[in-house]
Amino acid sequence: MITLYTSPSCLSCRKVKKYFDKYNIKYIEKNIMHTRLTRDDIFNMLVNSENGFEDIISPRSKVFKEANVDFNSMTIHELVDFIVDNPTILKRPIIVTETDLQVGYNDDDITLFLPPEIRNRECSFCLGPHENCDYVKALKVDNESSKEAVE
């Protein structure tokens, strides 16, 4: 299952939700402003990150700039607790699955979350393998083919 960490004012968060809704990709949304994050939430983010905390903490955030904290001297558990208490320090959106982590919205990378049978498909709507595929049309063709096969 996909967990999407968002905030209300985040344009990229809205883009991800719109994309997921368009392709009927199921997700659980956790609005970091309304739902208290848990330590497990943070560890689930970190387990698939390439660069640890650097991937999820925004040095441009107000909390980061105003905190008189030496993040480098904190233990992992202290830093996780700090994030739980100050969730606006996180980059957004953060998209987490059992095996993947994506931070932010990127037109190319977001296709990772499409079902593999659609993502890997070559179809007449594509310019080439995986290039500018119209996944909505591909899904529609798949659904129509399935209906015809049943009839």
Catalytic amino acids? 10
Q: What does the alpha-carbon distance between residue 2 and residue 26 come to, in Å, rounded to a whole number?
A: 7
Whether the CB-CB separation of 129 and 36 falls below 8 Å is answered with no
Residue 129, SS3 per DSSP: coil
The two three-digit tokens of residue 56, written as one number: 């999820």
Beginning with the edge strand found earlier in the chain, give each strand of the sheet holding 101-103 in spatial order: 27-31, 2-6, 94-96, 101-103
Report whether 31 contacts 6 (CB < 8 A): yes
Phi, psi of 133 (to 5 degrees): -70, 140
> What is the C-alpha to C-alpha distance for residues 20 and 28, in angstroms, rounded to an integer?
11
Q: Which two tokens stand for residue 58?
A: 């925004």
